[in-house]
Structure 1
């Protein structure tokens, strides 16, 4: 017998449809919130701030070691990449303050230098994202450190002694996840009292270092981004 216009609808079907609608509405409401928690702007390593730097009080020549530095010019290294969304693009940064290294300056020329970064402590402003960045992007369980080694002498003789900034050309080998590539860029350098401050933001391609974008529902990390560097050196002895 064919169903008439007043045939009863199966209650189980009604309940199922109702539950599905609730789930969909919940996802629509919750996903943007969760996504916002995972994709905030992060913590960026800014360039050297010369607003409070002092005239140089020590000679350049000698052995120098990376120190913590003083705010706003504390030692820090991080990254800044764009996250590409279907309808938006936002910038995300991460930073670590666990950086060690040394440099040798002879006749006002930086002849050797090495920097090592603890990748296991890179952080932004989102704990969940930090865990993903460390484990999935940089695989810090296997590659806990990254490094940079100067490969060409850097002339420092022209740097002002009054605490203002000068520019230096930096070339060296950057190693991330055991992949090494040469980078070269213009950095900012300041002789601040008894410290030497250096900062830069060279552009790197993450694919060259085996940093693969994690699988995400709606976002993709740009191939190129900044390596944010701010270092404070103090002379040994």
Structure 2
């Protein structure tokens, strides 16, 4: 009896003829090799030259110190004597912060923190500056890097010590500001409260009358250790032990 052929069923695997092996395209192989090499070189560059790239390319341009802005009004608009007597408030547009140098894996970077959360008042009696209290919200101070700001807030414990405060300790003669057409330079001695620690500091102050009031720019050196703070040294970044406090105040009645 002749053998009957079973009809093919769905799912049966039929043997197929082997496909001829294709040789890799030399041009494709070369391109893949170049891409792989480029990726490896990029990783090496980031690991070894990342700090240089950050300091020279990625990091934003260093912000200028807080100084008196260029005058935009005519001298005649501030002609005549200025009544400096009384209480002056720290008004809108005031700014404060710090400036400190750090070395990031061998590359020098100047870190600048800024905030406009500044309040306070000054009192002039008989041509003498007799009272000053200026407060800065330290939790609001920001640089170009959020991770650095978070470390800054932890180091200062801004939850416990939210403000830095400057208070006058010695009267200062500011009577010359009443008639001066140029900025007046005066040292102002006081106490800086930072991180819950009080230390004497002297602000180098430059004051100028304006049509709307008085502008004041001030700086003072700050040694971190004096306020119970340690300059962080994380191996790849080292912070200098001393920085500069900066103030730019818009004083109004």
TM-score range, shorter chain: 0.7 to 0.9
Deviating more after overlay: 36-45 vs 87-96: 36-45
TM-score for both structures, normalised by structure 2: 0.72
Residues 123-166 of structure 1: per-residue CA shift (max 9 Å, x gap): 1122222222222x322122111100000111111226465311
Residues 5-58 of structure 1: per-residue CA shift (max 9 Å, x gap): xxxxxxxxxxxxxxxxx9997365257169838965665551111422552674
Following TM superposition, the consecutive aligned residue runs of length 4 or more in structure 1 with deviations greater than 4 angstroms are: 22-25, 37-45
Residues 52-82 of structure 1: per-residue CA shift (max 9 Å, x gap): 25526741001111101xxxxx311100011
Larger radius of gyration: 2
* Larger RCO: 1 or 2 (CA < 8 Å, sep 6+): 1
Q: Does 1:29 align with 2:41?
A: no
Residue 196 of structure 1: which of 211, 214, 230 is its match? 214
Q: Counterpart of 2:176 in 1: which secondary structure? A: coil
Correspondence for 2:229: 211
- The runs of 5 or more residues in structure 1 that have no matched partner are 1-21, 69-73
Q: Counterpart of 2:236 in 1: which secondary structure? A: coil
Instruction: Tell me the C-alpha RMSD between the 2 structures.
Output: 2.8
C-alpha distance in 1, partners of 2:184/2:178?
7
Correspondence for 2:162: 144
Residue 46 of structure 1: which of 66, 72, 82 is its match? 66
CA contact (8 A) 1:195 1:233 kept: yes
Residue 145 of structure 2: which of 102, 105, 126 is its match? 126
User: What is the count of residue pairs matched by the alignment?
Assistant: 208
TM-score for both structures, normalised by structure 1: 0.77
